Amino acid sequence: MKTIPVYSIDKFNAKTEKTIQFQIEVFDIHRNFKVTYPHRHDDFYEILFLTQGEGVHTIDFQHHPIKPFSIFFLSPGQIHELELSEDVQGFIFLFTSSFYHFNKTDPYKLFELPFFYNLAKETPPLYLKNDSERQIFIDLFQKAITENQLKLADNEEVIRALLDLILIQSKRIYPVGTMDEQAHKGRILVKRFKQLIEEKCQENLSVKEYADLLTITPNHLSETVRNVTGRTSTDLINDRMVMEIKRYLTHTDLGISEIAYKLNFSDQSYFSKYFKKLTDLSPLEFRRNIHLTPSPSPVERGVFTGEFPLSTGEGVGATDARVR
């Protein structure tokens, strides 16, 4: 049965079976990890810094062009797919929330960063425009890789500090507006709400149930969401649910009733009416349109899909191994 793979950070640790909380390394077409595209991450964040190459990075149905000195940010739960030119080069940093927040007093510090759990419907990449910015990031990633390879005393502390510097430098130049303290607190609450929606999406919870989890009143949640985003709490829940339904319709062969059951809808009829009300298409019409809409192949676009042969004995076919 066709499904959307969900990977933990341990999947990308080629050297040991030990559970890890971060992974930092060079990124190119020789990165030999057996993953299937598209896929999503369950509990970790990703920073992908590409210094060379072209292609397309699709994140939650949003297509972002890849060009030299692009930085992509992925939050847990997002589905993504990469199509890359064969000359792609760069760095990748994977890390869990617990790794980042170790020794930090604020458990929601990551939510202060505009590119994780973005309040917009998409998270655009950061394109580095000048040589000094580019060199700063190259140096930080290279130092983190060296620390990880040498395994000296307190190397995780050093790598965590370098991760902080990468994120702070990204935050400084990432395009966002200014805000006062009250607005800042509101954004943190809405990001916590969005994180919960991500975690609990398949439970199909109500606004009140989410407010209970956040230990606030539904009115306070709704007012804060409206002040920060100009939309309602129900809008954010519906946005995420519609995206989840589209993911299942696009990337799996599950029947409509099976998808409705997985997403905790009371019956298929209500599920279909809900989706059509929000998209103007029934689930079957949406799925049919996907199959009818032609798209240029990666070869026609001149990019590398990430498939490459593995050496014998790896236990997986060539088409199962793709560059992340």
Asked if pLDDT for residue 182 goes beyond 70, the answer is no
**Based on the domain organization, do 16 and 83 belong to the same domain?**
yes
| First-last CA distance in the chain | 22
Asked if pLDDT for residue 217 goes beyond 50, the answer is yes
In a domain, 170, yes or no: yes
Check the CA dihedral 29-32-36-41 and report its sign: negative
122: tokens are 């998409």
Report pTM: 0.70
Q: Helix 283-292 crosses helix 268-279 at what angle (to 10 degrees)? A: 60
**Based on the domain organization, do 170 and 220 belong to the same domain?**
no
Q: Helix 181-200 crosses helix 233-251 at what angle (to 10 degrees)? A: 40
Q: Where do the DSSP E strands lie in the chain?
A: 6-7, 22-28, 39-41, 44-52, 55-59, 62-66, 70-74, 79-84, 89-96, 126-127
Q: Are 237 and 264 within 8 A, CB to CB?
A: no
pLDDT given for residue 290 in this prediction:
79
Confidence of residue 269 (pLDDT cuts 50, 70, 90): very high
Average pLDDT, integer, range 42-53: 93
Q: Which domain holds residue 233?
A: 181-292
| Gap between the Cα atoms of 78 and 80, Å rounded | 6
* Structural domain total, the chain: 2
Burial class (CB in 10 A: 0-12, 13-18, 19+), 165: middle
Asked if pLDDT for residue 314 goes beyond 60, the answer is no
Average pLDDT, integer, range 72-98: 92
In a domain, 300, yes or no: no
